[in-house]
Amino acid sequence: MENDLSSIQARELDQFIEDHLLPDLTFLTEVRADVELIGAFLEERCFQGADHPMRVSRVVMGGSYDEHTALKGKSEAKMVVFFNNLASFEEQLKRRGEFIEEIREHLCQLQHEKQCKLKFEVQSSEEPNSRSLSFKLSSPQLLQEVEFDVQPAYDALYELRNNKYAEPQLYNKIYTQLIHECTTLEKEGEFSICFTDLHQNFLRYRTSKLWDLIRLVKHWYQLCKEKLREPLPSLYALELLTVYVWELSNKNQEKTTAKSFRTVLELVAYYKDLRIYWTWYYDFRHEEVSAYLQKQVKKARPLILDPADPTRNVAGSDLQAWDLLAKEAQIWMQSSCFRNCDMSFVPTWNLSPEKHECVFQ
């Protein structure tokens, strides 16, 4: 499929997405049904001993398992299992192994009972007492699958979720606790899964054109991953860059898929200039949060702060991984898929290096 993408013209990109990247809706419907069943199963079965205080309070999905950004073929998603009676991020860290084993036991039981509509497989780990857990839902007939990374979490947003008119101080209270624990434990970015709800809200109410652009960028990323066989920057970093480009060009009614896609690749090529963050959930108005953010935004680039977690630089620190992807981006920017009918290249949005720093309210 790489040849298909690199050899078409810019005006054919939207059709390429429709023909090759959109997932099967029947499969997605079955995935949603099985995900609800799995979540209910875990809520009912985990830690059901009479004397055990722990219970699953809720199960939240993240990543590409729905109609918004799932890709045809294979997608990856997260299943975050929130537990009640946890008092801190540190307690989540200490008890992670215990929670993983409890969840693993019941998922294996569910696999044995064969209640899911789709093929359900718990992925076995080669390491004893592994702290990672995943399962796969697939349809061999439709050649579709979603792999879920399962993670237990502290329900840090419990108070906020139950307050329809949450005041800024509730967010500040949560982020103050997060910053304090992360810096004390030296685990910055470790607890971003606790904010899966906010990740969902950040991306939920977007246009279908942006979803399709994200699909295209993810497909390009997969092609690079298959070719290079080396560690690359996180896919989420590329998704956020795509959102950034979309927001940057939001006032322009004539934006095209090719122009936005090429701009994303340009940002990857000039990754050393990136400093991007949003102030949707946290900002500079609270003294302690502001002091921490001031330090964060002065750190070495590339810097792409998680919109829901100020302690997490989604860009990571692996400059070699970025360098590999940047070289691929430079090659791809000369591809046929960025050429007009007259063979001229589609321009990128007008971005100079100093404009790679951006704050969105």
pLDDT at position 70, please?
85
The model's pLDDT over 156-190, given as tens digits with 9 standing for 90+, comes to 998 887 665 556 678 899 999 999 999 999 999 99
Distance of CA 267 to the CA centre of its chain: 18
Give residue 84's domain range. 21-156
pLDDT at position 27, please?
93
The model's pLDDT over 279-314, given as tens digits with 9 standing for 90+, comes to 999 999 999 999 999 999 999 999 999 999 999 999
Q: Which tokens in the block code for residue 228?
A: 């290079």
> Rounded distance, CA 177 to CA 156, Å?
9
> Rounded distance, CA 348 to CA 263, Å?
5
In contact, 278 and 199? CB cutoff 8 Å: no
pLDDT > 50? residue 361: no
The model's pLDDT over 19-60, given as tens digits with 9 standing for 90+, comes to 999 989 999 999 999 999 999 999 999 888 656 678 899 999
> Rounded distance, CA 215 to CA 64, Å?
10
**Assign residue 143 a region: left if phi > 0, alpha if psi is -120 to 50, beta otherwise?**
left
- Is residue 88 included in any domain, yes or no? yes
The type of residue at 290 is S
- Is residue 149 included in any domain, yes or no? yes
Q: For the chain, how many structural domains are there in total?
A: 1
- Is residue 82 included in any domain, yes or no? yes
Nearest by Cα to 242 from 224, 226, 266, 270? 266
> Rounded distance, CA 276 to CA 295, Å?
14
CA 213 vs CA 8, 69, 71, 160, 196: distances in Å:
16, 9, 12, 32, 22
- Is residue 34 included in any domain, yes or no? yes
The model's pLDDT over 212-270, given as tens digits with 9 standing for 90+, comes to 999 999 999 999 999 999 999 999 999 999 999 998 876 665 668 999 999 999 999 99
Backbone angles phi, psi at 243, to 5 degrees: -60, -40
Whichever domain contains 67, its CATH number is 3.30.460.10
DSSP character at residue 348: P
